[in-house]
Structure 1
Amino acid sequence: MTQLEDWFVRDTGLNATLSWLLLGIVASLATITILSDQLVVAGFAIAIVAVGIAPAVASRSWREMLPFPFLLVAALPLAVSVFRPDVATEFVSALSIATLALLLVVDLHLLTAVRMTPGFAVFFVVITTMAVAGFWAVGAGFAHDMWGTPFVRTNDQLMYVFIAATVGGLIAGGVFRWYFRRRERADARFAEEVEYA
């Protein structure tokens, strides 16, 4: 197992059960939103399910899943909903997208030859969060024009949405970097204890 896999893939029955339950709810929500023509929300839900099941598919073990709390944070916008865009909702969405981006990094480690240092993984999380916010705005604007779904009313509101996404991505990136450093120190202490044992 590589460092990021060891930090993020859990092989416990409780974590797997909670993760599969959450992903089942998200998949059901994806189906409902597709039927009600909320394609932006459906796309996000499908992305969460795809990223969430990748470790189990790669390991061929239903127990090897990403940590339930990370999946829960990634699914938060589906609970908060994006039907009335405002800065608070977009901030929650940005944190969730950042979490999803981090989990995508872990999946890339599992399924491909791509390897990232923890520092670059944090940078990737921040940039991905900002990029997804842009695509999200384009998709929400398209849905507003086509189906009359709610969308921000002014350019100022749209800029606040982008600012919230950037701040959310930076905060999440900082938290993840702190987590990586904490885990690196714990791994180093464990290696020293093993060496002296």
Structure 2
Amino acid sequence: MSSLSGVIDDERVNAALSWGIVALVAYAAIESTLTGELLWAGLAAVTGALAALPPIRAREARTMVSWEVLALAAVPLVGRSLGVVTQAATYLAVATLALLIAVEIDSFSSAAMTPRFAIAFVVANTMAVASVWTIAQFASDALVGTSSLPGQTRLMWDLVLATAVGLGAGLLFELYFRRYGGPDRDERSRGESA
């Protein structure tokens, strides 16, 4: 193990980096609200709230999800706030929100996920969140007069691509699971399924 990975694995350092990323997500939520991008503001607010949920429940500021997962979730949100907007940012934002949910369930609850189930969970959650995102865009277009939805064919391709990005996020979760799951967690999973 290199000296840098030892520092990063330190709980205090992880918490400091994670809270810094939560602050960036809060910035993205505020900036999106001020510029009238309410869907992005809502997505950033939900991401920040999910990131803050474990320390609030545990009443311990150091009980944070890994900074790497939060950084991945923050990239599309902060990138959009800085003007780096691509269609892939939407897919990545949706997939990383599902990934964040899966990591928090696996890390901070008694539920143990096998890698296959974790991938399926992240993909299914990505598809669900992408569908809710589409419904929110439709509601925004109908009620506020925005023009978020590009058309039916494009919408279907957006959902297909969001699913593909969800599969990629699921594979990332499997790598995360292998890195942080450890042998004792694997044994616990086998013991509970027996």
TM-score tier, shorter chain, comes to 0.7 to 0.9
Task: Give the percent of matched residue pairs that are identical in Structure 1 and Structure 2.
Answer: 35
Trace 1:4-153 onto structure 2 (pairs within 5 A).
Answer: 12-81=11-80, 89-109=86-106, 114-153=111-150
What is the TM-score normalised by the length of structure 2? Answer: 0.73
- After TM superposition, the runs of 4+ consecutive aligned structure 1 residues lying more than 4 A away are 109-115, 181-184
Q: Classify 1:78/1:150 alpha carbon distance in 2 versus 1 (closer, same or farther; 3 Å).
A: farther
Shift of 1:182: 5.8
Alignment size in residue pairs? 175
Q: Which amino acid aligns with 2:172?
A: V
Does 2:166 match 1:169? yes
Match in the other structure for 2:183? 187
Match in the other structure for 2:191? none
Shift of 1:71: 0.8
Match in the other structure for 1:5? none
**Do the aligned residues in 2 keep the contact of 1:92 with 1:168 (CA within 8 Å)?**
no
Question: Which SS does the other structure have where 1:65 is aligned?
Answer: coil
- Aligned equivalents of 1:150 and 1:122: distance in 2? 33
**Do the aligned residues in 1 keep the contact of 2:141 with 2:149 (CA within 8 Å)?**
no
What is the TM-score normalised by the length of structure 1? Answer: 0.72
Question: Superposition RMSD on alpha carbons, in Å?
Answer: 3.1
Q: Which amino acid aligns with 2:168?
A: I
Question: Which SS does the other structure have where 1:62 is aligned?
Answer: coil
Deviations 1:124-181 (A, max 9, x none): 1101101111111121222233334342432222122112101101122123224434
Unaligned runs of 5+ in 1: 1-9, 192-197
Shift of 1:103: 2.3
Q: Which amino acid aligns with 1:73?
A: L
Q: Which amino acid aligns with 1:117?
A: T
- Aligned equivalents of 1:56 and 1:14: distance in 2? 15
Match in the other structure for 1:195? none
Unaligned runs of 5+ in 2: 1-8, 188-194
Question: Which SS does the other structure have where 2:174 is aligned?
Answer: helix
Q: Classify 1:66/1:111 alpha carbon distance in 2 versus 1 (closer, same or farther; 3 Å).
A: closer
- Aligned equivalents of 2:77 and 2:126: distance in 1? 16
- Aligned equivalents of 1:138 and 1:60: distance in 2? 35
Question: Which SS does the other structure have where 1:75 is aligned?
Answer: helix
Match in the other structure for 2:3? none
